[in-house]
Structure 1
Amino acid sequence: MKSASILMIIGSALLLGLFVFPLWSITLEAPQYPNGIGMNIHLDGLEGKEKHDLQNIDGLNHYIGMSKLPKPDEMWEFSVFPTVVGSMALLGVCIGVLGFFNKVSPKWFLGWLILMIILGILGMYDFNAWMTDYGTNLDPKAIMKMTDAEGNPLSYKPPLFGTRHILNFVAHSYPHTGAYMMGSGMLLTFVAYWIGNKKSHK
């Protein structure tokens, strides 16, 4: 049980990497931007991949009527998500410590993992909803009004995951270092549960 508990502690602590590294990354490629422009999405705000990338993205979006990228105080997620992640990391470490002293069973490891999965799904749903609103709620007074063959306004929503062509841009949306650390941590907690459960049934 001690080895399983140590894995649980390490897995939970890996969530703290989200306070250092980006969770997600979106890059736009186009002929006028051969090196691409993009942004990294952190728990507490957005950061351009290069110094002026956020300003350049806002400048491009202005022509087609998209809103400016939100500041940290303009989205509740940027204040709530750090609290949720920090709380889950602390809770997981506490469960791991209690497991180390045989105060809780491996089922607590699994319970933490299930809760983390649910929170992750809710977070991705919220992220996708924001991108949908960001890419479709356009200013009717925009300089450029692009429509499809049926006359409907085009959607400029970036992909949640993968690549999508948007006008003359190619948008790439993929997890960044923080997401991989979180995924690795969740995998470790599952391994911790598996090892602990196996030993408890001997």
Structure 2
Amino acid sequence: MKKASILMIIGPLFLLGLYVFPLWTIMLGAPQYPDPLGMNIHINGIRDVNEFDIQNIDGLNHYIGMKTLPKPEEMWEFSTFPIVIGIMIGLGVLVGILGYLKKVDFRWFLGWFVLMSVLGVLGMYDFNEWMVDYGTNLDPNAIMKLANPDGTPMSYKPPLFGYAKMLNFEVSSLPSTGAWMMFTGMMLTLVASYMGWKSKKISNVRKTKPLAAS
């Protein structure tokens, strides 16, 4: 159980990477931009991949009526997510320490993993909802008004995950370093849960053997 507990302590610490590295990266490439434009989505704001990328993206979006990219103070998520992540890191480390001291068992490890997974899914849902609004809630007085073949207004929502073609832009939306660090940390806690379960199972078998022999 001690090895499982140490792993449970280490796993949540990987989430500290979210305070340094971007969670997600969206890139836009087009013939007129030899160097693609990009934005890094951090848990506390949106930043350029290269200098002036956000300024250039906002300039392009202005023509088709899209909103400017939000500043940290304009979205509650950018102030709430860092707090939630901090609480989950602290909770995970505490559970690992209590496991090391044999105060809790592997079920607490698994409970942390499940809770973090639920929060991750909710975060992705919120991120997707923001992109839907960002790409479809357009200014009716925009300079350019483009429509689909059936006459409906064209959507400029970036893909949540993967690649898409938007006008003459190739758009990619993929996890970045912070997301992979979070994924690694969560997998370590899942392994810790399995190791704790296996340790308890072996311990129970050893306890029942003398009874069986008698």
Counterpart position of 1:161: 161
Counterpart position of 2:129: 129
How many residues were matched structurally?
A: 202
Counterpart position of 1:33: 33
Measured in 1, the distance between the counterparts of 2:134 and 2:195 equals 44
Measured in 1, the distance between the counterparts of 2:43 and 2:192 equals 26
Counterpart position of 2:138: 138
Question: In the alignment, residue 53 of structure 1 is paired with which amino acid?
Answer: D
Question: In the alignment, residue 186 of structure 2 is paired with which amino acid?
Answer: M
Per-residue CA deviations over 1:156-186 (Å, capped at 9, x if unaligned) read 0000000000000011000000000000011
Counterpart position of 1:80: 80
* Moved >6 Å (runs of 4+): none
Please give the secondary structure, in 2, of the residue aligned with 1:155: coil
Tell whether 2:102 aligns with 1:102.
yes
What is the CA-CA distance between 1:201 and the residue it aligns to? Answer: 1.3
Counterpart position of 2:173: 173
Question: In the alignment, residue 102 of structure 2 is paired with which amino acid?
Answer: N
Over the aligned positions, Cα root-mean-square deviation in angstroms equals 0.5
What is the CA-CA distance between 1:72 and the residue it aligns to? Answer: 0.2
Measured in 1, the distance between the counterparts of 2:76 and 2:113 equals 25
Measured in 2, the distance between the counterparts of 1:149 and 1:37 equals 28
The 5 A counterparts of 1:178-193 are 178-193=178-193
Please give the secondary structure, in 2, of the residue aligned with 1:185: helix
Counterpart position of 1:46: 46
Measured in 1, the distance between the counterparts of 2:125 and 2:44 equals 18
Measured in 1, the distance between the counterparts of 2:99 and 2:21 equals 29
Per-residue CA deviations over 1:64-121 (Å, capped at 9, x if unaligned) read 0000000000000000000000100100000000001101011000000000010000
What is the CA-CA distance between 1:27 and the residue it aligns to? Answer: 0.1
Identity of aligned residues (%): 62
Counterpart position of 1:20: 20
Question: In the alignment, residue 74 of structure 1 is paired with which amino acid?
Answer: E
Measured in 2, the distance between the counterparts of 1:26 and 1:9 equals 32
> Could you state the TM-score of these two structures normalised by the residue count of structure 2?
0.94
Per-residue CA deviations over 1:36-79 (Å, capped at 9, x if unaligned) read 00000001000000110000000000000000000000000000
Unaligned runs of 5+ residues in structure 2 are 203-214
Measured in 2, the distance between the counterparts of 1:164 and 1:58 equals 19
Measured in 2, the distance between the counterparts of 1:16 and 1:188 equals 14
What is the CA-CA distance between 1:34 and the residue it aligns to? Answer: 1.4
Question: In the alignment, residue 24 of structure 1 is paired with which amino acid?
Answer: W
Please give the secondary structure, in 2, of the residue aligned with 1:82: helix
The 5 A counterparts of 1:1-16 are 1-16=1-16
